Amino acid sequence: MKLFVGLGNPGAKYARNRHNIGFMAVDAIAQSHGFGPWRSKFQGEIAEGRLGSEKILLLKPTTFMNRSGQSVGEAMRFYKLDSTDVIVFHDELDLAPGKVRAKAGGGHAGHNGLRSIHDHIGAAYDRVRLGIGHPGRKELVSPYVLGDFAKADAEWLDDVLRGVADGAPQLALGDNGRFMNAVALRTAPPRSSVSQTKPEPQPQLPNSAPNTEQDSRSAMQKLLDKFK
């Protein structure tokens, strides 16, 4: 069994925040793969289903971001899971919008949700980093992540969420390479391989033919004509 955790803040006020892209990712997986209804448990909302042969529990902690680890730890203890069975989906300032990276272990890089999970289960869990870009200055980070995605972000955001849902079965099997391929097919589809037909060269018009009509005038007549 795998535990897929989406990070975010509960409530309609935060639903479209950049910080809530983790919630959006597990929602997309649940919808795409026919998971059961969401219900309250483990200080969060859970949905159960399968990805291929693997049983999956989706979890959205409702503890607010900086206490996410409480919910994750409770679910892990109940199902007797190891931290290596946990995959966390979260927003990533250090990746450009629309970029996705799967990562095993590592630091929390100041992310409050990851920091809380580190405190409760350690660092040996996997994560899917969902790029939202950086506002440019440190003092702008908080209002930026707690701000809604702009309308201009809708297309790439939809592609990312669809790609994550497409690749979720491979992620559940631990095949991060194939997961990333599935995401790339949505976010950076290959260009058409149909070669463009070169236009055929236009036929060159023949040069005007020289006047080859025979001049029947006599030499004297030609000389007289010059002085007319």
Check: CB of residue 5 under 8 Å from CB of residue 59: yes
Nearest C-alpha neighbor of 125 from the set 72, 167, 49: 72
Q: Which of 19, 90, 111, 118 is catalytic?
A: 19
Token pair of 193 as six digits: 């391989």
Q: Is 19 a catalytic residue?
A: yes
Kindly provide the b/e burial profile for residues 79-112, where b requires at least 16 CB atoms within 10 angstroms of the residue's own CB: eebebebbbbbbbbbebebbbbebeeeeebeebb
Measured CA to CA, the distance from residue 85 to residue 171 in angstroms comes to 11
Given a contact cutoff of 8 angstroms between Cβ atoms, the answer to whether 54 and 2 are in contact is yes
| Angular region, 92: left φ>0, alpha ψ -120 to 50, beta rest | beta
- Cα(15)–Cα(8) distance, rounded to whole angstroms? 8
Q: Are 103 and 138 in contact (CB under 8 A)?
A: no
Which residues participate in catalysis according to the annotation?
19
